[in-house]
Homo-oligomer: A and B are copies of this chain.
Amino acid sequence: MPISGFPEWLPSQRMIEQYTLDKIRSTFELYGFAPLETRAVEPIETLLSKGETSKEVYLLRRLQGEDDPKKEDQLGLHFDLTVPFARFVTENHGKLQFPFRRYQIQKVWRGERPQEGRYREFLQADIDVVNRDTLPFHFDTEMPLVIGDAFRSLPIPQAIIQVNNRKVCEGFYRGLGLEDTAQVLRTVDKLDKIGPEKVAAALIETAGATDAQAQACLKLAEISTSDASFVDLVRALGVTDPLLDEGLDELRQVVEAANEHAPGLIRAELKIARGLDYYTGTVYETQLQGYERFGSICSGGRYETLASVGNTRFPGVGISIGVSRMLGILFGQNALTVSRSVPTAVVIALPSEDERTNCERIATSLRKRGIPTEVAPTAAKFGKQIQFADRRGIPFVWFPTAEGHQVKDIRSGEQTEADPATWTPPTEDLKPQIKGL
């Protein structure tokens, strides 16, 4: 029986997922990110060290294990790839070259109640750069370029990366005279959920804001531009603060680098806060055009302290593609298709069971040249063997005869002579074709 929150794709969907992962991985490698995979489990203290996600963790216990293991020995499944990465850096910093760029594509698990588009088991594709002591800001400008390239390599709608900087918000709130900037940020983060009136009321009630201060916070959150013009719009609100200046300069660099690389990829969106995650500067969210209602499919940001060892800090910046989430949304709208349900490009028809060895030789010859090939499972009538290929979307059937070989494109019906040592299908038929809308 299906288990709620644990999605499973059919093989044709899994082919689309693999194609997606191959493209993402190859983009990450073009930017020099090294692969990493961490174990699926972490000690419970590692998982709970961020505090906020405790209710989501799946703990493990051995069916025949001892009762009541000591709490500190308990293991749980990781709920993201950032916590395990930070732990890995802490453990292996002596063996790594810094700045250390890694990508990590793995399943993660969250025990929360499943709802539309939320899974309990899902695949994430993360990149992070981490350094010892300080991490130059230019790495923050690189993240959207990588993600933009990865998404553009896929047959999906245009991705828009929305970017903000916590220093802009905190500096602005401070410049306004609001002291509990964390509380203001948490409240403004509810804007899309509860609307501006309720946010204003909550700012007055819980963050000690005046009506004018609350309105200024809302004005800041309204700013959204596709270029660096947000700087002037913020300045026009008349608030000044050194942290605000720093944040505006950083945010401008991110927007300008993205516009130079891929016009239309980025928006400065000053309401983006990324909830309660421990980001300290740049924050990213990403929506697919036409699928904005499904929320962000790729998020991340800058951590001033991703990891620490003794007095040494390891700052980082990273971003994470929610692969299962993105594909679940697109599959739900039938927005991705594949031309066949198997990798096979050619079926070798089997005239009689006696000729299986001969047919296997033909298949071997094609496979040696990289052509995915199956020999028909039984020596049924040729009509049935063609049906075998047709039902799976396999484009070619090969007929071996004593006089010579022929290969048939079963879509067009065209049949031509062919030599097992040289025949090659058209490039577009060699692998299953993945298409978007």
Chain A residues with a Cβ under 8 A of chain B: 1-3, 6-12, 14-15, 17-18, 29-41, 43-44, 54-65, 75-77, 88, 91-92, 95-97, 99, 101-102, 107, 109, 111, 121, 131, 136, 138-139, 145, 149, 257, 260-261, 341-344, 356-357, 360, 364, 367, 370-374, 377-378, 391-392
Other A-B contacts than A14-B36, A40-B109, A136-B377, 5 sampled, CB-CB below 8 A, are: A10-B95, A30-B370, A30-B372, A34-B341, A136-B378
The reply to whether A39 and B6 contact each other, CB–CB distance below 8 Å, is yes
Query: What residues of chain B lie closer than 8 Å to A392, measured between beta carbons?
Result: 97
The reply to whether A372 and B29 contact each other, CB–CB distance below 8 Å, is yes
The reply to whether B32 and A374 contact each other, CB–CB distance below 8 Å, is yes
Query: What residues of chain B lie closer than 8 Å to A63, measured between beta carbons?
Result: 44, 54-59, 76, 111
The reply to whether B32 and A342 contact each other, CB–CB distance below 8 Å, is yes
Query: What residues of chain B lie closer than 8 Å to A102, measured between beta carbons?
Result: 11
User: Interface centre among A15, A367, A370, A373, by most B CB within 10 Å?
Assistant: A367
The reply to whether B55 and A64 contact each other, CB–CB distance below 8 Å, is yes
Q: Taking chain A's interface residues, is the majority helix, strand, or loop, or is none over half, making it mixed?
A: mixed
User: Interface centre among A3, A18, A58, by most B CB within 10 Å?
Assistant: A58
The reply to whether A58 and B54 contact each other, CB–CB distance below 8 Å, is no
The reply to whether A97 and B39 contact each other, CB–CB distance below 8 Å, is no
**What would 29 A/B residue contacts be, using CB atoms closer than 8 Å?**
A1-B91, A2-B91, A3-B43, A6-B41, A8-B37, A8-B38, A10-B92, A10-B95, A14-B36, A15-B35, A29-B372, A32-B342, A32-B344, A32-B374, A34-B342, A44-B63, A55-B62, A55-B64, A56-B62, A59-B60, A60-B111, A63-B111, A64-B111, A65-B111, A97-B391, A131-B377, A138-B356, A149-B367, A260-B357
Q: Which residue of B lies closest to A39 (CB)?
A: B6
The reply to whether A36 and B59 contact each other, CB–CB distance below 8 Å, is no
Complex partner residue of A88 from B6, B8, B54, B364, CB under 8 angstroms: B8
A346 vs B152: C-alpha distance when bound (angstroms): 23
Q: Which residue of B lies closest to A431 (CB)?
A: B29
A259 vs B226: C-alpha distance when bound (angstroms): 65
A102 vs B39: C-alpha distance when bound (angstroms): 26
User: Interface centre among A33, A55, A364, A377, by most B CB within 10 Å?
Assistant: A377
Whether A107 contacts B40 in the complex (CB less than 8 A), given A91-B2, A372-B32, comes out as yes
Query: What residues of chain B lie closer than 8 Å to A131, measured between beta carbons?
Result: 377
Q: Which residue of B lies closest to A104 (CB)?
A: B14
The reply to whether B58 and A60 contact each other, CB–CB distance below 8 Å, is yes
Query: What residues of chain B lie closer than 8 Å to A139, measured between beta carbons?
Result: 377
A107 vs B31: C-alpha distance when bound (angstroms): 27
A392 vs B75: C-alpha distance when bound (angstroms): 34
A149 vs B374: C-alpha distance when bound (angstroms): 15
Query: What residues of chain B lie closer than 8 Å to A39, measured between beta carbons?
Result: 3, 6-8, 121
A76 vs B3: C-alpha distance when bound (angstroms): 12
Query: What residues of chain B lie closer than 8 Å to A342, measured between beta carbons?
Result: 32-34, 101
**How far apart are A182's CB and chain B's nearest CB, in angstroms?**
24
The reply to whether B99 and A32 contact each other, CB–CB distance below 8 Å, is no
A31 vs B75: C-alpha distance when bound (angstroms): 39
Pairs A-B, 6 closest by C-beta atoms: A62-B111, A32-B344, A29-B343, A32-B374, A11-B34, A6-B39
A22 vs B113: C-alpha distance when bound (angstroms): 35
Query: What residues of chain B lie closer than 8 Å to A60, measured between beta carbons?
Result: 58-60, 77, 111
The reply to whether A33 and B364 contact each other, CB–CB distance below 8 Å, is no
A138 vs B379: C-alpha distance when bound (angstroms): 12
The reply to whether A61 and B58 contact each other, CB–CB distance below 8 Å, is yes
Complex partner residue of A43 from B1, B54, B356, B373, CB under 8 angstroms: B1
